[in-house]
Structures are given as C-alpha cells and as structure tokens.
Chains A and B, each alone.
Chain A
Amino acid sequence: MELTLHVSLGEGSCAKQPMSRKRSYSVLPGFGLTMGYTLTYLSLIVLIPLAALIVRAASMSLEQFWAAAFNPRVMASYRITFGTSLVAALVNSVFGFIVAWSLVRYRFVGRKLLDALIDLPFAIPTAVSGIALTAIYDRNGILGHTLFQWGIKSALSPLGICIALTFISLPFVVRTLQPALEEMDGESEEAAMCLGASRWETFRRVIFPALFPSLLTGFALAFARSLGEYGSVVFISGNLPMKTEITSLLIITKFEQHDHLGATAIAIVMLVASFAILMSINGLQWYLAKKFRG
C-alpha cells in the first residue's frame, strides 16, 4: 500500500524555523522511548561532560574565579572575540541578505552553482580553511600583497580574524533567509505598490519587516558560531596577547600551561555566553511561531 502522500525536504540549514500548526498529540506512541533515549544520550554526551567543567570551576573561590575569568588579558580576548564576531555577523547580515535575495529572486547563469557553493564553509574543515585564507590574505598572499600595500592589514590583525569568521559563518545568514524569502507571497508588496508606495518604501515597510526575524536568527547563529571558532582563526590571526588573541586560543594556552582552573573559568564564561545566545534564538522562534499562529 502506498502510504506516502507527500514528500518535503528541509531546504534550509539546521536553523529552519518551525512552522507548526495546532494539533493533538495524544495518539502517537513512542514518546517515552524516544524521550528517554534523547535525554540519556544528551546527558552522556553533552550534559555530564559540561557538568565536569562546572564542578571543576566550583572548586575555585569566587575571587579566584573572578581573577581568572576577568583579568585584563582575558577581558581583551573577550573584546576581540565578541567584537570580531559581531563585525563578521553584521557583514554577513548585509552581504548574506544580498546573496539570498539574488539567489531567490533573480535568475542568472551560474545561480545553481553559486547556491551550492554557499555551503562550502560547512563542508570544508576549519583548519584547511585557515591555511587557505592565510595563503590569500597574508602579507605575501594573493590578495594580501595588494591590500597591505594599500595599508589594509588583512592578516595578523583583528581584520584578519573578521575575514576568517565571515568565511565560516556566511552560510548561516543565507540559509536562514532563503526559505523565508521563498515563502513570501508577492501580494502584500503588490498591494503596497498599488497604494502608491515607492519601491524603496515597499521594501522598507513591507518586505524587510517580514524578513527581519529570519535575518535576526541568521545573525545570531552566525555570531554564536563565530564566538567558538578556533581552527580557521589561529592561522590568520597574529595571536598577540591583548591585541589579536581570541578566547578559544587563550583557553588552550592556559590549558597547555597546566593551568586547568584558568582554562575552566574562561570556558565557563564562553559557555554561558553561547547558552544565552542559543536560548534567545529559540525564544525568538517560539515567540514568532506563537505570533504567527495568532
């Protein structure tokens, strides 16, 4: 018997928003089994190891923790990490928007190829990206050579870190915007135009607000991913304390100096930050889902 009635594919990345309808939940079996399995596996792989981190930190006094997690050098690394991640996420929001817009709304030669290329940073190992980006943006690199002559330090500088982070986090913005752009119906913008709104006004008042939640989600995902990036950054960044040292590198440096506690304290701060960002993304989606359901 052919039970399958329709097939659909999640075209977006892992960040696609749930578009759920109201429905009853009681009939289906397997909740206990699957939930039990999910929680057990989650605990074994994620929660217990993270608990180890927190227990380890608990052996510190508050002053110790404070000194380890918020001394000037660590603070500088937070500033660099958060600052460059923010810049990368903003750059990707602008260019990712343009890329997604072009890919969905226009038809041109090579569009399919371009669309496939967007996922490259997902598919290529970060260390490999790091080596490749260095070959391009380093002082003697293919583009870096010229950029440095113009006085633009595209490697060994915060700008270099931004470049690496922009590379690895681009897919998030594009892949969250694409489905939203595809699902938009043309009616409201046509209506706005009919009512005499200019093209720009239509974009600003009708299209952009409709896309904004997806853009925000993509931005937040790109930002969260950038905060933790390590492999691609260490090659292109100069790794100088206070100047170009990212937090991930600082954690591993502490670790290799046999300073487990110092590494733990910084790791906890980063963990809390990532958790907060993820929580707000999920909260945002929950809020939007509720708003759309009415």
Chain B
Amino acid sequence: MDLMWKHTFGWLSLWLVSVALTGCDGSSQRGEGGVKKVQLLNVSYDPTREFYQEFNESFAAHWKATKNEEVYVEQSHGGAGKQARAVMDGLEADVITLALGYDIDVIAERTKLLPLDWQSKFPKNSAPYSSTIVFLVRKGNPKGIKDWADLEKEGIEIITPNPKTSGGARWNYLAAWGAALAKELGGMEGIRKATPEQRAAADKKARAFIESIFRKVPVLDSGARGATNSFVQRQLGDVLLTWENEAFLALKESGGDQVEVVVPKLSILAEPPVAVVDEYAKKHGTQEIAKAYLEHLYSPQGQQLAAKHFFRPNSAELISTEQMAKFAEVELFQLKDIWGSWAEAQKVHFDDGGIFDQIYQPK
C-alpha cells in the first residue's frame, strides 16, 4: 500500500518537476551584453503576416546598420476588428497596421491612445501601400467569372468573410456596391453627376446585388485568411472575393495549379493605413523607433518588399517595371467618392441594424 502511494507521489512530483524545468526558461530572450536590444510590437490584420515577417528582418538590419541597436519586432495577426479591440483593451502595440482607417479611428476616439488626426502623421494618408479587391477562381475559371456582374449568375457559390469582424470583407462589400452603382449610373463619372433620386434608385439596385451575393455565401469566416482557407484548403465555393495581395499569395502558396486570379474592370482602392500608438510607445520609450519602423515602409526597401508581397506600392517609381507588371490595369475608385468617409460607410452598412444586418433578416 505504501508503495502504491509513493508511486503516485512519484508521478506527481515527476510531472511537476518536468513542467517547472521546461517552463522556467521561457522568458530569457531579452538582451544582455553590449548591444542595446529593443522590442516592438506590430499589431496587424490577417493577410499581412508573410509581408511583415520579411519586412521586420529588413527593418532590423536597417536599424542595426544606422543605430547599432538590435530590434526584434513581434507580430500579432487576426481579423481587423479583433486586433483593434485587443489594442483598445490593452494589447500594447507600438504600431498598428490595420486593414482600414475606421478601426484606427475608433481606437483614437474611444481611448485617446493616439491622436484623432493620426492619419496625417505619415505621407499619403498614412497608407504606405495599397491594394484592391479581386476574384480568386478555380483553375480554368470553370464558371466563367470575369467581372462583378458575373457574381449574379445562379448556381455559383461565393466566399467572403464576415464584414462585421473583417476589414477585408468590408472592402469586398464596398467594392461590389461601388461596381453596381457604376454599372447603373454609367461609370464613376456618372456616380459623381447623379442626382439624389438617381443615386437612390441605383443604391437600391446595388443593395439587391449585394443581397444576391450574400445569398450565395455558404460560410462567413471571421477574417480574410480564414476565408482564403475555406476556398483553397477546404475547396469551398467557386469564387473568393479578397485582397489582391491575398489572392496572389494564395496562388503562390497553392502551387499555381489550383486557382487563378481574375481582376475586375473596376474595383475599390483599398488603403490599409499604419499608425504609431503614441501612448503605448511613450510607455515603452519606443516612439522614435516606432516612427522609424513605419517610415521604413516608405523607403525603397520597404516599397520593394511590399511589391514583392503583392501590395501596390505607393511610390511606383521606386519599383522596377517588371515588378509592377504583375499588377493588372484596373480602374480604381475611392471610398470617399461614394460614401464621403469611412464613418459614414460603416454607419450605413455595417453597424448594428445597418444594411448588412438587414440582408440576413427574414422578410
């Protein structure tokens, strides 16, 4: 009997010791020795993980060369809403690089972690790179999806994430809406010239278009990457609406023989902005390096890396023409041309009780 008890005790202590041993050295990555070590945390949205992984190395080399300091950039990725929520609740990001300006606006308004005019702190509205919304279809495009209007065809399935939680999904939605308006009113010029009545009639058509799209959506993932997985890994749906950069990445990762990218004639200019979270950076004493980190995005290296990862660089002159050739010609409209501001678009379409919610209400 005693033996049994010792046996038990032995098991327990063995387990405790082994766990304690492995648990102890978890946090020993901080610097000792001559070179100063700095850590930065970049909280970003879903499809940027591969880009920032490479960019962080580039920045670390750059910083080592100029300041002789070791910098290690930590990454966190997820649906844009989740990431903004985490920063507001205390995820101490030195910089945020989110899918759309509205989520950063919300942080600024509700928490004062960064100034309301954050968007004016870096060139080009704090958007070092841009992207647009394209289609990813199965190899050979069996359903013949060429442009937005083809999404209305019966018998196809569309994959797009949940606009409530995903930034990319909101761009998808707005791109589709804008395309429908342009079709009704005769291009962007027509939208600008339309009378309020004409616009209202066209909005109605656009809404019907959006409804027909979401009727064909079998699964709403919470982030853009989840949707890509549904389409590529799980083989769901006939067409994926997604970021241009994500579509090219999925094409590359799947070996190029499963899917292909289709670029519509007209799409939205999607500008994922970046910002230093001043309060957190101040707390960590990383204001200078956080600013340098984001400025590095605008440097030739940063722009080239962005282009390499299929983001459209903001300074195309820094990129070779071969590199630029992969970005198809597409007419891009801006969000403000149609909705004025992100806040307005958010309120009408995505807030509770907005048009997106109404789509799913039983009639």
Please give the residue numbers on chain A whose beta carbons come within 8 Å of chain B beta carbons, in ascending order. Answer: 2, 4, 7, 72-73, 134, 138-140, 156, 234, 238-243, 253, 255-259, 262
Contacts and interface: CB of A to CB of B under 8 A. Distances in A.
Contacts of A138: 234, 236
B82 A256 contact: yes
Nearest to B80: A256
Contacts of A73: 357, 360-361
B92 interface: no
- How many chain B residues sit at the interface, stated as a range, is 20 to 34
B162 A239 contact: yes
Nearest to A259: B352
B352 A262 contact: yes
Nearest to B357: A73
7 contacts: A7-B1, A73-B357, A241-B220, A241-B357, A242-B361, A243-B360, A253-B165
Contacts of A262: 352
A256 B81 contact: yes
A156 B360 contact: no
A6 to B, nearest CB: 10
Contact of B164 (A140, A156, A257): A257
A243 B162 CA distance: 14
Interface secondary structure of B, over-half rule: loop
A72 B361 contact: yes
Contacts of B106: 258
Contacts of A2: 1
A238 B235 CA distance: 14
A270 B212 CA distance: 33
Given A138-B234, A239-B220, A258 B85 contact: yes
Contacts of B1: 2, 4, 7
B250 to A, nearest CB: 17
A39 B278 CA distance: 42
Given A138-B234, A156-B218, 9 more contacts: A7-B1, A73-B361, A138-B236, A139-B235, A238-B220, A240-B218, A256-B82, A258-B106, A259-B352
Contact of B219 (A156, A241, A242, A256): A156
B362 A140 contact: no
Contacts of B236: 138-139, 156
Nearest to A239: B220
A73 B361 CA distance: 7
B359 to A, nearest CB: 9
Contacts of B235: 139-140
Contacts of A256: 79, 81-82, 85, 164-165, 222
B6 interface: no
A76 to B, nearest CB: 9
A34 B88 CA distance: 40
Interface in B332-363: 352, 357, 360-362
A155 B182 CA distance: 37
B71 interface: no
B84 interface: yes
Contacts of A238: 218-220
Given A140-B234, A140-B235, A240-B360, A253 B218 contact: no
B89 to A, nearest CB: 9
B222 A253 contact: yes
B262 interface: no
A283 B150 CA distance: 60
B260 interface: no
B88 to A, nearest CB: 7
A258 B221 contact: no
Given A138-B234, A259-B352, A240 B220 contact: yes
B110 interface: yes
Contacts of B316: none
Given A134-B234, A239-B220, A239-B221, A257 B165 contact: yes
